[in-house]
């Protein structure tokens, strides 16, 4: 089934709008991922945006996906290397039309594996930032020894002031409630030490405001890098520069660990025998740490659910991104943020008293 770009329903009847042309794997991965998602969310209605001929052919091979999808034809796709300013001018792209569907109320959320910069730019211009939010942030889940942790910002805002960090804390708390199902998620500000005098002025100001807010009981204080994987808090808040470095460092450490384990278990006969003995445990660990389980970063603070899938993921990973979007829609994440806006305005209008003491460097 297909619809023209100018006549799709604007009654909010679609659960999600999916950019069918984004990502390194293109529509093949997207449709295969939707086939997996269809088993998990059989009642969902998906507006699949992109090249009608390609998408129709793929849906004919994936009847489960076809059952929940309606095609919205798009005239073009945003290349992975296109600059955000150029992407804004392409009004018939699959990414743009998917965003339009959310902005016009035809869909409750959007998922794309396409160009991250273009996606953020389009989300801010088309879906728009919620009133009371100065900047949207990128949030995602990461594994810890105690379960999953919400981290934000992961790259949308390279530099932030204390008000941004307070906003991120409030949005991260709402994200953890919606996706992790936690009634009162704990919050930590990423710093170079846990002591109150550590870090720079913006971190201390943000901490001071949070300690005096309705989130005071949930605010743990400052956390360090090792606290992320330890699961010290349910939400870790930082600026986009630090968050992106922490994320990529963690991904690199996992790859290195698996590479070293492979070398150990294949380097000798004893190693291969040892692998056979510990294989069940290793398989469980591999499944637990599988990056596809954590695919789906969310641009929080927008007037709708916007989920960014990793461009290089496979069908299982794309389905995980759809899962995240469905969780946020089902738990009315955007409405939850709106409910906090009055309190947010009170928090961010507080003029934190500048700490005249010089920041204590990392030990």
pLDDT tens-digit readout, 162-218: 999 999 998 899 889 888 889 999 999 999 988 887 888 999 999 999 998 888 999
Look at residue 296 in the predicted model and tell me its pLDDT.
Answer: 72
Q: Rounded to 5 degrees, what angle do the CA atoms 176, 244, 306 make?
A: 50
pLDDT band for position 36 (cuts 50, 70, 90): very high
62: pLDDT strictly greater than 50 = yes
Instruction: Tell me the CB-side half-sphere exposure of residue 308, using CA atoms within 13 A.
Output: 24
Look at residue 352 in the predicted model and tell me its pLDDT.
Answer: 46
Max distance between CA atoms of the chain, in angstroms, equals 66
114 touches 80 (CB < 8 A): yes
What's the mean per-residue pLDDT of the chain? 86
Whole-prediction pTM: 0.81
343: pLDDT strictly greater than 90 = no
Look at residue 341 in the predicted model and tell me its pLDDT.
Answer: 62
Question: Among 31-35, 157-161, 196-200, where is mean pLDDT lowest?
Answer: 196-200
Classify the phi-psi angles of 23: left when phi > 0, otherwise alpha if psi is within -120 to 50, otherwise beta. left
């Amino acid at each position: 089934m297909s619809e023209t770009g100018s006549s799709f329903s604007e009654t909010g009847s679609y659960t999600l709008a999916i950019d069918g042309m984004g990502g390194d794997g293109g529509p093949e991965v997207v449709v295969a991922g939707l086939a997996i998602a269809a088993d998990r969310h059989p009642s969902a209605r998906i507006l699949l945006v992109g090249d009608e001929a390609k998408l129709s052919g793929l849906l004919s091979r994936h009847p489960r996906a076809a059952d929940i999808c309606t095609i919205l034809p798009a005239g073009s796709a945003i290349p992975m290397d296109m600059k955000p300013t150029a992407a804004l001018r392409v009004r018939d792209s699959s990414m743009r039309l998917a965003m339009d569907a959310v902005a016009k109320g035809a869909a409750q959320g959007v998922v794309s594996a396409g160009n991250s910069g273009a996606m953020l730019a389009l989300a801010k211009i088309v879906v728009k930032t919620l009133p009371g939010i100065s900047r949207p942030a990128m949030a995602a889940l990461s594994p810890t020894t105690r379960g999953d942790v919400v981290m934000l910002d992961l790259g949308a805002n390279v530099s932030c002031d204390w008000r941004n960090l307070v906003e991120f804390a409030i949005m991260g708390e709402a994200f953890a409630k919606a996706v992790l199902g936690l009634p009162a998620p704990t919050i930590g500000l990423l710093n170079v030490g846990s002591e109150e005098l550590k870090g720079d002025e913006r971190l201390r100001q943000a901490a001071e405001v949070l300690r005096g807010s309705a989130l005071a009981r949930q605010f743990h204080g400052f956390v360090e890098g090792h606290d992320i994987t330890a699961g010290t808090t349910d939400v870790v808040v930082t600026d986009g520069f630090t968050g992106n470095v922490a994320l990529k460092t963690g991904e690199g450490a996992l790859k290195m660990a698996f590479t070293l384990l492979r070398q150990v278990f294949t380097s000798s006969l004893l190693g291969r025998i040892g692998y056979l003995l510990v294989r069940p445990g290793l398989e469980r660990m591999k499944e637990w740490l599988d990056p596809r389980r954590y695919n789906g970063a969310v641009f929080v603070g927008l007037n709708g659910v916007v989920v960014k899938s990793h461009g290089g993921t496979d069908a299982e990973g794309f389905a995980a991104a759809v899962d995240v979007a469905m969780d946020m829609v089902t738990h009315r994440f955007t409405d939850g943020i709106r409910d906090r806006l009055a309190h947010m305005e009170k928090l961010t209008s507080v003029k934190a008293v500048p700490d005249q003491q010089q920041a204590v460097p990392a030990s």
